[in-house]
Amino acid sequence: MLVVYGNGDGIFGGSQQLILQFSTNNGGWNATRHERDVADVNGDGFLDLVGFRENHVNVALGTGTGFGDLLVTQNGFDYAGGWRVDVHERKLADVNGDGFADLVGLKAFRRKFESVWFTWRAFCGSL
Ligand SMILES: [Ca+2]
Ligand SMILES: [Ca+2]
């Protein structure tokens, strides 16, 4: 994953690779099957990487200068669970206002709005 930091005046610097995972060559990510997004899932103010994989959701916590190891944080919302990049919407947003990004999904064929209150501490203890 590449990041280009902004200078605050609309000018961006050079790109930096902050993590090797979350790519086709490192982890087998496939853009037609696996959606990737950024959100602050643990409420520390740093954006984290979130990837919807074949059988689970991966998160790599952001540090401001890089990312930690990939964590498996959620079963479901994944390809095996019927979620398709070209059909279903998956978003990250703080739905319940607790400061932690939640997983929000829309499966059009079911006409049902699904969401998971992403309670980070419940998944990961006292990180
Ligand atoms: Ca974070
Ligand atoms: Ca939340």
How many angstroms separate the alpha carbon of residue 43 from the centre of ligand 1? 5
Instruction: Band the pLDDT of 119: cuts 50, 70, 90.
Output: low
C-alpha to C-alpha distance for 43 and 39, rounded to whole angstroms: 9
Least confident of 11-15, 56-60, 103-107, 117-121: 117-121
Is the pLDDT at 48 greater than 90? The verdict is yes
103-113 average pLDDT score:
66
Ligand closest to the CA atom of residue 120 = 2
How many angstroms separate the alpha carbon of residue 86 from the centre of ligand 2? 26
How many angstroms separate the alpha carbon of residue 11 from the centre of ligand 2? 32
**What tokens appear for 18 in the block?**
């902050």
Ligand closest to the CA atom of residue 97 = 2
How many angstroms separate the alpha carbon of residue 14 from the centre of ligand 2? 33
Is the pLDDT at 64 greater than 70? The verdict is yes
**What tokens appear for 90 in the block?**
């998956």
How many angstroms separate the alpha carbon of residue 38 from the centre of ligand 1? 9
Residue 55's nearest CA partner among 37, 34, 32, 80 is 80
Ligand closest to the CA atom of residue 41 = 1
Q: What pLDDT score does 122 carry? A: 46
Least confident of 19-28, 81-90, 103-112: 103-112
Highest mean pLDDT among 14-28, 45-59, 71-85, 108-122: 45-59
